[in-house]
Amino acid sequence: MTAVRSRKSKSAKNAANAALTIILPVALGVLIVALWQGGVLQKLFGTDDYVLPEPTRIFSIFQDNSSAVWANIKITTSVAMLGLLFGSLLGYAAAVLGALKPGIGAGALAVVGAFASVPLVALAPVMNNLTRDVSRVAETRSFVAKILVVMLIAAADMGLNAYRGLTELPPYAVDLMKTYAASSKTVFLKLRLPNSVPYIFTALKVSVPASIMTAIVSEYFAEFNGGVGRQIRENILLAQYSTAWVYIMAACGIGVGTYVILMIVRSIIARKFHM
């Protein structure tokens, strides 16, 4: 009877904690919006409604320019997701090479990891120059260059984390595989790969928002005038701060939306792999 009550109490506590993880951020967001709309934030930061317009003003501009905003959101999201996909595959391949062929893979991981320390403001213009012969169409050249920038950043996060998952194996599991004389292929598929799944999602927790930010920053230096980042830059240069805030909020929405999707996918896969 005591054990049943203890389980019920623990279950109720977990449910309350889960609810708080949603309620508290939402409440904080509502509070910030209320202070923003009421002009408190403007007074706090010593600015005016022109530089920091009210949320209702931003929403009004979004409604008036929704087609253009969605078109730019599509560009930025496409760049970020394609770069994330290719970068994650590249990083995981380097991690597999490092785990199976340490002599060769160590160099591959070092090269992939080195890109994480390269400033985006230096990497983006370099990629623009490298891709100038990819196509005669400026939009295509720009699209490829931005994807490459995101890919390199995502590859570094995935490679370093996946390598840990592929190599930091439970000792008893390795000994058991040796006892059964398991082949390298079997060890990889039955032990290394499942063990790396949690590390993959650890990498994605970092690389998903990083890919969005990288895509936005790379658009500042892109040849083609498209994407959320480029619109933020252009509108700030033209002192159109209200429109710039529309795209800033769009960038926030992309980041939050993709992260929520990642967490949903992780929760589904976690049940399968007992993460």
- Give the span between the Cα atoms of 224 and 222, in whole angstroms: 6
Residue 94 and residue 82: Cα distance in Å, rounded? 18
pLDDT at 2 (0 to 100): 57
Looking at residue 156, its amino acid is A
- Which helix (H) or strand (E) element contains residue 143? helix 138-167
At 88 the pLDDT is: 93
Q: What is the pLDDT of residue 246?
A: 93
The CA distances from residue 128 to 115, 137, 211, 228, 229, in Å, are 16, 13, 18, 18, 16
β strands within the chain, DSSP E: none
pLDDT score for 150 = 92
Q: In whole angstroms, what is the distance from residue 250 CA to residue 105 CA?
A: 39
Q: Over its length of 275 residues, how does the chain's per-residue pLDDT go in tens digits?
A: 555 556 656 666 766 676 777 788 888 888 988 988 888 888 888 888 888 889 999 999 999 888 999 999 999 999 999 999 999 999 999 888 888 887 776 777 777 777 777 777 778 888 888 888 877 887 888 889 899 999 988 988 898 889 888 888 887 777 777 777 777 777 787 888 888 888 999 999 999 999 999 999 998 888 788 889 999 999 998 888 889 999 999 999 999 899 989 988 888 887 776 65
Q: What is the pLDDT of residue 137?
A: 82
What pLDDT is stored for residue 9 in this prediction? 62
Q: What is the pLDDT of residue 19?
A: 73
Chain-centroid distance of CA 53 in Å reads 28
The tokens describing 244, both together, are 């710039």
| Residue-level pLDDT at 165 | 87
Describe the chain by its helix, strand, coil percentages, rounded to 5. Answer: 85, 0, 15
Report CA-CA distances (Å) from 242 to 4, 54, 172, 253. 57, 9, 60, 17
Distance CA 165, CA 174 (A): 14
> What is d(CA 156, CA 110) in angstroms, rounded to the nearest whole number?
9
